[in-house]
Amino acid sequence: MLFHDVTPGPHETQLRFRLIHFWEAWNPLKKTLIGLEMLLIDEQGSVIQGFIPPSRIERHLPKMKSGSLYKLNNFYGSSNKTVYRVSDHAVTMSFSWNSELSVLEDSPTPFDEDRFRFHSFEDFQASCDHKGDLCYHTHHL
């Protein structure tokens, strides 16, 4: 399955991707861990946001390294958040209770290294009052 085929709901299939970057998401008011957010790219260059709930981080984090290739069996497609989005895709790929993450060895298909660029604080500040997304459409650089 490719990212453009991911829809809301459970999926008992396999995704293959490069893990571009991951980070912890915290609730700043309650000082609690929301989960692990990820930015992923598939073999067609499509980018999707990934999410691991706090209860599943310990199981998967030891295998995770930015830039590495993975295959994931079983996941849940959830509607993308309207704020703090990091990809254009309407769905976030969330790890579910039966998700199995493993390193993808010897992929016959090349995966792009990334498809994002950094923006300055001034770029974001200039867009913050437009009541739209602060994420930019992805482009090959």
CA-based angle 62:63:69, to the nearest 5? 155
- Return the CATH fold of 3-130: OB fold (Dihydrolipoamide Acetyltransferase, E2P) (2.40.50)
Note the pLDDT of residue 98: 94
CA atoms within 13 A on the CB side of 25: 18
Q: How many CB atoms lie within 10 A of CB 75?
A: 25
pLDDT digits (tens, 9 = 90+) for 79-109: 776 655 566 656 889 999 999 999 988 766 6
* Domain residue extents for the chain: 3-130
* Cα dihedral value 49, 54, 55, 57, nearest 10: 60
The answer to whether 43 and 16 have CB atoms below 8 angstroms apart is yes
Top pLDDT among 13 and 90 is at 13
Residue 59 in this model has a pLDDT that exceeds 90:
yes
